[in-house]
Structure 1
Amino acid sequence: MGWLWAIIVGFVLGLIAKAIIPGKQHSPLWLTTICGILGAIVGNAIARAAGVAATSGIDWTRHIFQLVAAIVIVALGDMVYMATIGKNKHRERA
């Protein structure tokens, strides 16, 4: 059941990150979800290192770390995706 939650959280984090990043992102939904999952993992690691991974109540600090990590990873993932797709489209035109 943990993998299902990872996919759901990654999907939500990825969509929120895409909404926050200015401009249009061209990466597909599956890549956004994977980047969101990675953002959650990285955010949890940062929260653990900062000593705020487990607090009483809602872990807002951990969620902020996850969101910031997801924003960075989604932006980087979109740049890599567009660089790869751009090269492929350029080859098709030639």
Structure 2
Amino acid sequence: MLWTIIVTLVGGVIIGSLGKFLAPGNRDNIPFWLTVVCGIIGMLVGNTLYYAIFKDSPTDKWDNMTKGIDWWRHLWQVVVAVLAVMAASFVTGRNKRA
């Protein structure tokens, strides 16, 4: 259980930071904690979408469908994190620089 929390937080930091870096324009003006939340959302939703679209057989596990590193799954996670960062920026009203 502890490792699940640690992996989720570290993954949220990495995926959220990539999403914040790749967000277009000045839409990335959000606090760090919200970046981590957007990264966690990107991980969960990106995983779910990738699994739902590209599942080959009923025996595929949703967390790793290939042998080795599943780069396409991580790409889906980052894209969802970019969208989450843009949405968080819009919702918090931080999409314009002062």
Q: String of CA shifts for 1:46-72, please: whole Å, max 9, x gaps.
A: 111021741112101111111111111
Q: Tell me how large the CA RMSD over aligned residues is.
A: 1.7
Q: In structure 2, what is the Cα distance between the partners aligned to 1:48 and 1:15?
A: 23
Structure with the larger RCO, 1 or 2 (CA within 8 Å, 6+ apart): 2
Shift of 1:73: 0.8
Shift of 1:22: 2.3
Q: In structure 1, what is the Cα distance between the partners aligned to 2:50 and 2:24?
A: 26
Instruction: Give secondary structure in 1 for the equivalent of 2:76.
Output: helix
Q: In structure 2, what is the Cα distance between the partners aligned to 1:82 and 1:48?
A: 33
**1:27–1:82 contact (8 Å) kept in structure 2:** no
- The 5 A counterparts of 1:13-92 are 13-24=15-26, 25-50=28-53, 51=55, 53=62, 54-82=65-93
> Which structure's CA Rg is the greater one?
1
Q: In structure 2, what is the Cα distance between the partners aligned to 1:40 and 1:19?
A: 16
Q: In structure 2, what is the Cα distance between the partners aligned to 1:63 and 1:7?
A: 15
Aligned length: 84
| Runs of at least 5 residues in structure 2 that lack an aligned partner in the other structure | 57-61
